[in-house]
């Protein structure tokens, strides 16, 4: 059963740093997470997840003022999709202060710190030299890059797929889901990823796969989908954070000896992925 095979990590205070360190019970667990492209992360005690969930649930109300957040391009704003009964409020980091309440913007910044902790641990295991982490990640590892904090609802009363199979484009996705429905592809079969109380589901994306491809620890971008399921509450709520590279930046591939093995404009990499089963954030 896959649920027993999904590694679980925690964030530990690191005496050597102001940042917390991603920690697995055993080193094989991180290796398994990199192979699988997915793991559970214990939600930190200082994260006010419940009020963020409450904010998400309140977006369902037709008179919610946040339903008036305008569109910025195709990816940002309050977006109601026709095809799969998904509605969402999606915003990049630069607009959190403008459109999210202060406590939600602060929540997003806490997820930034979690995203960085995850990437740094992958880099440590990859053998990529620390001096190259910032360049390899297009600045994300040092607090730059592109981050989205999205509040998503799937209305499961339709028989459609909630979300077709895809990989995520970015480095890391942090997911808080209120109900089951997420499945990942393992060995050609889709398997359920159960909701684990007090844990995020973390998955790795194409950009992290790209930058680790020639390192000692290549990370898989996991193919996943969301299936429509009936539940007591027919609306499946989720909070999704995407850690991405800047669209106008570069990504670099280094090996453990510090040699450059390749590079790509982020836009070129994403354009290559565009025709495969991926989503753009």
- List residues near Fe ion by CB under 5 A: 168
Q: Is residue 35 within 8 Å of residue 220, measured between CB atoms? A: yes
Residue 155 beta carbon to Fe ion: minimum distance, rounded to whole angstroms: 18
Q: Which is nearer to Fe ion, 20 or 281 (CB)?
A: 281
Residue 169 beta carbon to Fe ion: minimum distance, rounded to whole angstroms: 9
Q: Which is nearer to Fe ion, 169 or 254 (CB)?
A: 169
Query: Sign of the CA dihedral 40, 58, 162, 273?
Result: negative
DSSP state of 136: H
Q: Residue 8 is encoded by which pair of tokens?
A: 């679980």
Residue 279 beta carbon to Fe ion: minimum distance, rounded to whole angstroms: 6
Q: How would you write 7-57 as a 3-class SS string? A: CEEEEEECCCCCCEEEEECCHHHHHHHHHHCEEEEECCCCCCHHHHHHHHH
The CB-nearest residue to Fe ion is 168
CA distance 70 to 78: 6
Residue 168 beta carbon to Fe ion: minimum distance, rounded to whole angstroms: 4
Q: How would you write 190-221 as a 3-class SS string? A: EEECCCCCCEEEEEECHHHHHHHCCCCCCCCC
Residue 184 beta carbon to Fe ion: minimum distance, rounded to whole angstroms: 10
Q: Which is nearer to Fe ion, 17 or 272 (CB)?
A: 272
Q: Residue 116 is encoded by which pair of tokens?
A: 């960085």
Q: Which is nearer to Fe ion, 168 or 206 (CB)?
A: 168
Q: Which is nearer to Fe ion, 184 or 251 (CB)?
A: 184
């Amino acid at each position: 059963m896959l649920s027993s095979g999904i590694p679980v990590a925690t964030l530990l205070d690191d005496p050597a740093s102001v940042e917390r360190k991603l920690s697995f019970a055993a080193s094989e667990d991180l290796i398994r997470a990199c192979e699988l492209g997915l793991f559970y992360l214990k939600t930190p005690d200082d994260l006010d997840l419940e009020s963020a969930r409450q904010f998400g649930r309140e977006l369902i109300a037709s008179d919610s003022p946040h339903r008036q957040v305008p569109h910025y391009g195709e990816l940002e704003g309050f977006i109601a999709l026709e095809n799969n009964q998904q509605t969402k409020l999606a915003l990049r980091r630069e607009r959190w202060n403008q459109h999210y309440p202060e406590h939600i913007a602060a929540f997003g910044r806490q997820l930034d710190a979690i995203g960085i902790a995850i990437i740094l641990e992958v880099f440590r295991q990859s053998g990529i030299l620390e001096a190259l982490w910032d360049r390899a990640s297009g600045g994300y590892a040092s607090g730059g890059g592109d981050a989205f904090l999205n509040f998503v609802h799937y209305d499961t009363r339709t028989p459609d797929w909630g979300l077709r199979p895809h990989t995520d484009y970015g480095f890391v996705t942090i997911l808080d889901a209120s109900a089951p429905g997420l499945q990942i592809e393992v060995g050609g079969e889709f398997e359920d990823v159960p909701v684990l109380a007090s844990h995020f589901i973390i998955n790795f994306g194409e950009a992290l796969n790209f930058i680790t491809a020639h390192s000692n620890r290549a990370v898989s971008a996991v193919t996943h989908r969301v299936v429509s399921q009936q539940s007591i509450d027919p609306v499946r709520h989720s909070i999704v954070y995407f850690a991405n590279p800047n669209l106008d930046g570069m990504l670099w591939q280094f090996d453990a000896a510090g040699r450059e093995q390749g590079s790509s404009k982020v836009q070129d990499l994403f354009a290559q992925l565009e025709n495969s089963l991926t989503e753009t954030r």
